[in-house]
Amino acid sequence: MIVILFGPPGAGKGTQAQRLEREKGLVQLSTGDMLRAAVAHGTEMGLKAKAKMEAGELVSDDIVIGIIRDRIAEDDCKNGFILDGFPRTVAQAEALDGMLKEQGLKLNAVVEMKVDDNALVDRIAGRYTCAKCNAGYHDTNLKPKVDGVCDECGSTEFKRRPDDNAETVAKRLEEYYAQTAPVLPYYAEKGVLRQVDGMASIDEVAKQIDAVLAA
């Protein structure tokens, strides 16, 4: 199964993609995570992406399309994958179509997670992740079962993203409405666009997504 989780920054894409990976064995492909790894490793691509990410702007289509093209050709993607944070422009959506066609693959669903801007800002302000396994948490909405200990791997080290600050979030939301939201009609026309209530609790959103994928 090939699924796109679609929505603004902080909508809950990563949270639900990690869950689907745990529960259904679909691979989570997060372009944000891949870009952050490239930045951390100081690769040429990372250097190009870093300034854009810190400013809350989109990284160039060429870079992210190249990353996804290489990644979906790998063996672990054979049983299906979840795209989290890609495509973010119509050009990326068109490129994805081409790649899937080349490989004889079909997109099953694009799941739009709708969340109000105010809630997005709160979610991003409280977001942190495990430094070791990248599991996602929130200061109030999703705490580890044992305070300060990652549920998934037991690590006691956590991190916050440098771009999860109020100023950059405003820019990221602007980019979302200007460049990414226009991808929605593209998929609506193809008849693959589905919606879930991203304002609901994490468990309720999970149920709605599972219902969409089972349909």
Q: How far apart are CA 169 and CA 156, in angstroms?
A: 27
| CA pseudo-torsion sign 111, 128, 27, 95 | positive
* Contact between 3 and 109 (Cβ < 8 Å): yes
| Catalytic residue (one of 50, 88, 123, 194) | 88
Report if residue 133 touches Zn ion, rule: CB under 5 A.
yes
Residue whose pair of structure tokens reads 């996804």 in the numeric block: 68
Shortest Å, Cβ 4 to ligand ADP: 11
The option from Zn ion, ligand ADP, none interacting with 133 (CB < 5 to 8 A, set by class) reads Zn ion
Q: Which residues are CB-contacts of 155 (< 8 A; sequence separation ≥ 6)?
A: 130, 131, 132, 133, 149
Q: Which residues bind ligand ADP (CB under 6 A)?
A: 7, 9-15, 31-32, 35, 52-53, 56-59, 64, 85-86, 88, 92, 123, 126-127, 136-138, 141-142, 172, 201-202, 205
Report if residue 158 touches Zn ion, rule: CB under 5 A.
no
Verify whether residue 127 is a known catalytic residue: yes
Shortest Å, Cβ 2 to ligand ADP: 16
Verify whether residue 161 is a known catalytic residue: yes
Verify whether residue 88 is a known catalytic residue: yes
Torsion of CA 214, 190, 195, 8, to 10 degrees: 120
Catalytic positions, written as ranges: 13, 88, 127, 161, 172
